[in-house]
Structure 1
Amino acid sequence: MDRQLGQADSLETLSEVVVDSPASTVHLRTLHGKKQMDRWGTLVLAYKTLGVVFGGLVTSPLYVYPSMHLKSPTEEDYLGIYSIIFWTLTLIGVVKYASIALKADDQGEGGTFALYSLLCRHMNIGILSSKRASTNSSSLSHSMDEVTKKQSKLRFFFESSGVARRVLLFVAILGMCMLIGDGILTPAISVLSAMDGLRAPFPSVSKSLVEALSATVLVVLFLLQKFGTSRVSFLFSPIMGMWTLTIPLVGIYSIIHHYPTIFKALSPHYIIHFFLRNGKEGWLLLGGTVLCITGSEALFADLGHFNRSSIQIAFLFTIYPSLVLTYAGQTAYLIKYPNDHDDGFYKFIPTAVYWPIFIIATSAAIVASQSLISATFSVIKQSVVLDYFPRVKVVHTSRSKEGEVYSPEVNYILMILCVAVILIFGDGKDIGNAFGVVVSLVMLITTILLTLVMIIIWRTPWGLVALYFFVFFVMEGVYVSAVCTKIHEGGWIPFAISFILALIMFGWFYGRQRKIEYELTHKTTLDRLGMLLSDPSVQRVPGMCFFYTNIQDGLTPVVGHYIKNMKSLHEVTIFTTLRYSLVPKVAPHERIVIKKLGLKGVYGCVVQYGYADSLNLDGDVFVGQVADSLQVHIQDCSDGLPSSLVDIQEEISDLEQAKQAGVVHVRGKTRFYIGKSCSWLDRIMLPFYELLHNNCRSALPALGVPLPQRIEVGMLYEA
């Protein structure tokens, strides 16, 4: 059964995820949610990986040359361009992503925000709800003890500088927002470029018809997302297999018939001659060549859907050689027919196989869209888990992979934006300009964050770090400088999308931080709870109360607010915490953990569950399970003395009477009070946070609690 995580992982008055709750007495191990597989299983998964992860990369030949705006290109120009494409694919695709970045996972997740989370686990640079029981998030990272012993100056700089921490957070947020922008633009440009193949054999087909057909294809694709990545990838893998086999064969045919010596362009001196000959024009053309590596960030971000080995095998043994041969064939054709670059893909296809290739290309473009859609689901889920994004519904579509998720709200918003991009910016060149901005900026941000991971976590020798940073920062920096000249020609699209997303993320994060600060400052300690209950005016009323809380080393301020104003507390009160763990299912004997809190009739309870567990329990069943666990815990506390046995029987009797008297479930509903003394930033951001908070999903999973038993206690937090 798929489990809803729409409420996941936020530090709120009522939350699914808690860090070291005072009621907790066990320490659950965390897993990646991936099964250990033998070699055969890895090869099978590598085949399925073809259908999801590499879509943007393998369809890039559809739009790279048409995006370059070449003017009277020569043979030497094409040789230089192919040399740039080859070394970009090799250095960024093979070395950076397949060999290095895939090793920097955060509990099996990839992407820029996973890198930021990984850094947060090893540095004190912020309050993250993701710091769960396990800190050993990567098999390649050092233990926390070792990192603590070997403090680096760079780590100390980030921990001591508030400005540096905020800049690092901004960089991570920008990278995530750009990847979401990639998830909007990749489906648009891939499908539009593939469908444009109809116009060559049928000149009467209008541009508007191509756009309408492309939009229809995308709508159908987004409607299929609810079935899950594994099922979709199983359907798409044969398509990608045919693409990676047929397109390089066409490339080899083109090489033999048009320019057999094309591979001499692998020599880097052709790149040098290209820039010496073209100067500024050659630099501007980089805005098109960077599209050859589009989808590489999705390769990293989709790590949560597949394992590292399967991605590496699929990329190194199928995708990479296929791209090298395909671009070589395209270039060989264009050297013979230099003015056909505006449609550099379909014109190099032989007439005899045009329609089969068109069908395969269109199908592969759909696969390309799937890769970025899956990556977008992953990064949204990561940001929700880390409490940097408003809670949305996230459904786990696999019982064995914690990272395989689907979000209905995100899915339909992406669908609307993709269709809008096609219908409003139907010119593939404008979309290509926007695409180049996204691709280059995300790669550059990943390089920066990965450099920090190498220094602070992996303890990589400085020489290797310097070599890595110099090569990729310079290379990607040059690409960024080239694509930024296209901002006014469609490149502003991802900036607009990223600005809106960043505003939402910052507003949510700011409000969450302010709420956490207030709760930690005004938490109700057990001593304070004892003082409140000792007040003669406070009555212990009949019944059983489940009071939901998650504050570490104490209780939510709502508890004190409730007792002071209601002047009462139920005879049996169970302060309940819901904990989400990165395991498929929590063992039954570990599901409910009870602890006495030292006050008569007051207990702490932690309900632990994994991502494949269902909390859609009947309310009475949930109460019965907790009551049974509480009785067992009370009996286990006996020391065997007759007086102790009497006390235990009395306590169990009180528990049964309270249960029969009635059960209520109390949760806090808090808001900020913005007074005159608030800063201007609070006056702007806190109302915006309240708007987001009121329109996002609840942090309480469906426990089947009947409506008459639910009580919400409102409280104003003074900003």
Structure 2
Amino acid sequence: MSDKGDEDVELTPEEEKKKQRKASWAKLRHVDSFNVEAGRILSALKSHNSKMGWTTTVSLAFQSIGVVYGDIGTSPLYTFAGIFPDGIDQPEHLLGALSLILYSIILMPFVKYTFVVLNANDNGEGGTFALYSLLCRHTKVSLLPNQQPEDRELSNYKLETPSSQMKRAHYIRGKLENSETAKVALFLFTVLGVSMVMGDGTLTPAMSVLSAVGGIESLGQDAVVWISVLILLILFYAQRFGTDKVGFSFAPILTLWFLLLVCIGFYNLNKYGWGVLRAFNPYYIVVYFRGRAYQAWISLGGVVLSTTGTEAMFADLGHFSVRAIQLSFSFVVLPALLVAYCGQAAYLTKNPNDVLDTFYKSVPGPIYWPTFVIAVLAAIIASQAMISGVFSIITQSLSVGCFPRVKVVHTSDKYEGQVYIPDLNYLIMILCILITVVFRSTDSIGHAYGIAVVAVMFISTSMVSLIMLVVWKTNIVLVILFFGVFAFIELTYLSSVLSKFVQGGYLPLAFSLVMMSIMAIWHYSYKKRYEFELNNKVSGDYIKKLARDPRINRVPGVGLFYSELVHGIPPIFPHFISSIPSVHSVLVFVSIKKLPICKIAPEERFLFRYVEPREYRMYRCIVRYGYMDVMGTTKEFEHQLLDHLKDFIRNEYFITQGGGLDETSGGESGQIQGVEEEIRFIQRAMDEGIIYLLGETKVMARQNASIFKKVIVDYVYTFLRNNFRQGETEMMVPHTRLLRVGMTFEI
């Protein structure tokens, strides 16, 4: 029985579809958003990420040997010296130390990273910011208020997650989203992890090269230091050639290095005895701590050195693939390291006094110098691993406004994610050389090295555990087991390495504090500037008055007005009109938006909307990029933007037709002519020329702001903004077609 107000009128299938479309489009057009365009694209989407073939996977696995594992692969050069700086007192302690090394490698890089952390990647990208990006997409914890519902419609935005919905995941997500303190804490935790990775990237080259060149101590320590400096100069110069070329150049060398480790290990096991394999029994760890107590706890700082470079497996993931890293570590790196450490332990059972130079003393005489040459080359590769990881992480941090603009060069057309940052490359080079010259030996650097390594590991454990709870919705027992085991191990190691704070451990903490300050200040000022624009955006009434104002001239051509605001027209636009009372015949408000996602398909990149009144030929456009997307040349960008604008105009016509507007044949013909005339008008304006309009917004603290805020905003942020790349450089805007307008914001 129908209600009283219902009509008992039967509709044809075509009329029913038309009625549904009308109601649907009416809802969409009521909302001030870009849902129309987003909805149009979604229906035609197909994932553009094809599965990688085995040939490519094996090729990448081979490359990864030359880029990722240099650091962990050269750890046998100095690990036992770090554990026993005062010599070995009892044979059982040697077995206990070896057992700690073996299980540290098996648990940390193999179990934790290879099979858990690598799966927490962000569409193929790894590193601390990839974890943060993943959390930002599944929970509203981002500090920037530029989220839009359309972003969730992107093909790469959603990852495949278990279908079961648990109250626990929603509860935790709600707590995170409703707590400003939790958001800030998560952001600072992420920035700390990034800073520690950067600190690791500056310590690794100095540590690895010094330890390798130490094989020729007969020349004197000064010679070792300056030879190391020369090698570092060559290494950083080679970065400009890209990970692809460097990887293929280094991979054969490091493969030979791992083969040498295996051969030397088996040689020592065969010569000095296989009894050290008892160390696979974890009981010897208990004996080790029972016998040495305090010294055993202190020696954990040396055990940590066996896992240095583990984070590179995740940080460098964007250069390769999950399967490639899993293959290369499981079948090449892990066996080689286990055999190498067992062989060194076998040698030390008969030669305990050689513990400070275990590796070179255990090398058979006939192959000593070939091994030395390969060791030096492997040390260079070790440095490459963390440098590549730092480049990847900084590229990601740029996308969420956490780092001043720097030039990012994509070095490979074949593989995504391989980048080079010239400015950062030279900064790390200078720091590495200073560390090498000042510290001069691996002992002092090792104290600092351990803190950076363990801190990054603990941060990764914490963030992956949160992802397991909120994103993967993993069983709570498994989450507790994962976090409990690895957090206990890492915090125990961290307590040990922090005991060496005065002896050099302060170095990564001081460096991280500086980097955290830069990133936090940049993000804070960036966020405040965005919030000011959002709260003072231009009203629709202003645009309507502008359209009726006879004093405003319309000049030929297309004007692209750049702004970071994605929720309206920026407040600098009225300031521009008051300074230059003219508007281009076609004006597009362009917002370049970086999303916490690695790649965005080209067909999903541009979102458009009319600015009323329509006849005024003004449009809003949001151009969305992932943090690993390349903008391309200016000419390519202009053609893509204007082609998508024409498509948008045509689609608007079909939308209004579907909504039931004038559907008579004559009215329809007139509308088609109007659409084609609008497109021809845009093409004529494009032929007249395209001008870029860029607002130069200077940010200052309010007069009544605290002194601390004035120092942060007026001096530190302004210094960073003035000494890094400007907006038009990042967007490759041609200076001959650039018009700037300045304005000061008080925050």
Do they fold alike, i.e. is TM over 0.5?
A: yes
Q: Report the Cα offset of residue 534 of structure 1.
A: 3.3
* Counterpart secondary structure, 1:598: coil
Query: Which residue of 52, 55, 61 corresponds with 1:40?
Result: 55
Superposed CA offset, 1:371-397 (max 9, x none): 111111111111112211111111111
Would you say 1:478 and 2:488 are equivalent positions? Answer: no
The AA in structure 2 aligned to 1:49 is S
Query: Which residue of 151, 171, 182 corresponds with 1:153?
Result: 171
In 1, distance between residues paired with 2:548 and 2:343? 84
Q: Report the Cα offset of residue 699 of structure 1.
A: 2.9
Query: Which residue of 378, 389, 392 corresponds with 2:406?
Result: 392
In 1, distance between residues paired with 2:368 and 2:592? 58
95-104 or 553-562: bigger deviation: 553-562
The AA in structure 2 aligned to 1:552 is V
Q: Which residue of 2 aligns with 1:498?
A: 512
* Counterpart secondary structure, 1:70: coil
The AA in structure 2 aligned to 1:112 is T
Structure 1 contact 510–685 (Cα < 8 Å) conserved: no
In 2, distance between residues paired with 1:138 and 1:264? 48
In 2, distance between residues paired with 1:52 and 1:210? 24
Structure 2 contact 99–284 (Cα < 8 Å) conserved: yes
The AA in structure 2 aligned to 1:260 is W
Would you say 1:449 and 2:463 are equivalent positions? Answer: yes
The AA in structure 1 aligned to 2:59 is V
In 1, distance between residues paired with 2:451 and 2:232? 22
Q: Which residue of 1 aligns with 2:710?
A: 683
In 2, distance between residues paired with 1:263 and 1:577? 62
* Counterpart secondary structure, 2:346: helix
In 2, distance between residues paired with 1:266 and 1:649? 77
Change (3 A) 1:603 1:124: closer
Structure 1 contact 23–606 (Cα < 8 Å) conserved: no
* Counterpart secondary structure, 1:716: strand
Change (3 A) 1:527 1:549: farther
Structure 2 contact 544–612 (Cα < 8 Å) conserved: no
Q: Which residue of 2 aligns with 1:616?
A: 633
Superposed CA offset, 1:437-481 (max 9, x none): 111111111111111111111111111111111111111111001
248-257 or 687-696: bigger deviation: 687-696
Structure 1 contact 615–703 (Cα < 8 Å) conserved: no
Structure 1 contact 30–583 (Cα < 8 Å) conserved: no
Q: Which residue of 2 aligns with 1:352?
A: 366
Q: Report the Cα offset of residue 577 of structure 1.
A: 3.8
Query: Which residue of 216, 220, 236 corresponds with 1:198?
Result: 216
Q: Which residue of 2 aligns with 1:67?
A: 82
Structure 2 contact 169–471 (Cα < 8 Å) conserved: no
Q: Which residue of 1 aligns with 2:566?
A: 552
Structure 2 contact 525–717 (Cα < 8 Å) conserved: yes
The AA in structure 2 aligned to 1:268 is P
Q: Report the Cα offset of residue 602 of structure 1.
A: 1.6
Q: Report the Cα offset of residue 153 of structure 1.
A: 3.2
The AA in structure 2 aligned to 1:114 is A
User: Structure 2: which 5+ residue stretches go unaligned?
Assistant: 1-31, 658-665
Q: Which residue of 2 aligns with 1:86?
A: 102
* Counterpart secondary structure, 2:583: strand
The AA in structure 2 aligned to 1:697 is R
Structure 1 contact 301–379 (Cα < 8 Å) conserved: yes
Q: Which residue of 2 aligns with 1:699?
A: 727
In 1, distance between residues paired with 2:675 and 2:176? 53
Structure 2 contact 37–608 (Cα < 8 Å) conserved: yes
* Counterpart secondary structure, 1:41: helix
In 1, distance between residues paired with 2:514 and 2:475? 39
In 2, distance between residues paired with 1:254 and 1:321? 16
Change (3 A) 1:626 1:356: closer
Structure 2 contact 34–609 (Cα < 8 Å) conserved: no
Q: Which residue of 1 aligns with 2:396?
A: 382
* Counterpart secondary structure, 1:547: strand
The AA in structure 1 aligned to 2:56 is G
Structure 1 contact 130–385 (Cα < 8 Å) conserved: no
The AA in structure 1 aligned to 2:303 is T
Change (3 A) 1:433 1:630: closer
In 1, distance between residues paired with 2:472 and 2:193? 22
In 2, distance between residues paired with 1:74 and 1:583? 52
Superposed CA offset, 1:235-287 (max 9, x none): 11111111111211111111121132111111111111111111111111111
In 1, distance between residues paired with 2:90 and 2:48? 53
Q: Which residue of 1 aligns with 2:119?
A: 103
Structure 1 contact 130–386 (Cα < 8 Å) conserved: no
Superposed CA offset, 1:303-333 (max 9, x none): 1111001101111111111111100011111
107-116 or 704-713: bigger deviation: 704-713
Structure 2 contact 265–342 (Cα < 8 Å) conserved: yes
Change (3 A) 1:35 1:239: farther
- The 5 A counterparts of 1:398-409 are 398-409=412-423
- The 5 A counterparts of 1:39-58 are 39-58=54-73
656-665 or 422-431: bigger deviation: 656-665
Query: Which residue of 351, 358, 364 corresponds with 1:337?
Result: 351
Change (3 A) 1:489 1:45: same
Change (3 A) 1:217 1:24: farther
Superposed CA offset, 1:556-575 (max 9, x none): 22123323454443333222
What is the aligned-residue RMSD (CA, Å)?
Answer: 3.1
* Counterpart secondary structure, 2:67: coil
Would you say 1:324 and 2:338 are equivalent positions? Answer: yes
The AA in structure 2 aligned to 1:616 is T
Relative to the length of structure 1, the TM-score reads: 0.89
In 2, distance between residues paired with 1:241 and 1:138? 37
Change (3 A) 1:711 1:198: same
Structure with higher RCO (Cα < 8 A, 6+ apart): 1
Q: Which residue of 2 aligns with 1:4?
A: none
Superposed CA offset, 1:125-170 (max 9, x none): 1235798553855755358xx7697644333332222222222221
Q: Report the Cα offset of residue 76 of structure 1.
A: 0.9
Change (3 A) 1:655 1:695: same
Change (3 A) 1:63 1:542: same
The AA in structure 1 aligned to 2:194 is M
Q: Report the Cα offset of residue 75 of structure 1.
A: 0.7
The structure with the largest alpha-carbon Rg is 2
Superposed CA offset, 1:49-87 (max 9, x none): 111111111110001122231344221110110011011
The AA in structure 2 aligned to 1:369 is S
Structure 2 contact 143–184 (Cα < 8 Å) conserved: no
In 2, distance between residues paired with 1:27 and 1:64? 55
Change (3 A) 1:457 1:602: same
Structure 1 contact 511–686 (Cα < 8 Å) conserved: yes
Aligned length: 692
Q: Which residue of 1 aligns with 2:744?
A: 716
Structure 1 contact 33–403 (Cα < 8 Å) conserved: no
Q: Report the Cα offset of residue 549 of structure 1.
A: 3.0
Change (3 A) 1:20 1:150: farther
User: Structure 1: which 5+ residue stretches go unaligned?
Assistant: 1-18
Structure 2 contact 533–565 (Cα < 8 Å) conserved: yes
Q: Which residue of 2 aligns with 1:10?
A: none
Structure 1 contact 22–604 (Cα < 8 Å) conserved: no
Change (3 A) 1:480 1:630: closer
The AA in structure 2 aligned to 1:450 is V
Would you say 1:670 and 2:697 are equivalent positions? Answer: yes
Structure 1 contact 586–613 (Cα < 8 Å) conserved: no
Change (3 A) 1:43 1:656: closer
In 2, distance between residues paired with 1:23 and 1:524? 22
In 1, distance between residues paired with 2:127 and 2:644? 41
Q: Which residue of 1 aligns with 2:11?
A: none
Change (3 A) 1:524 1:66: same
Superposed CA offset, 1:201-229 (max 9, x none): xx2x0101111111111111111111111
Structure 1 contact 522–557 (Cα < 8 Å) conserved: yes
Change (3 A) 1:675 1:232: same
- The 5 A counterparts of 1:131-280 are 132=151, 134=154, 139=159, 141-142=161-162, 151-199=169-217, 203=218, 205-280=219-294
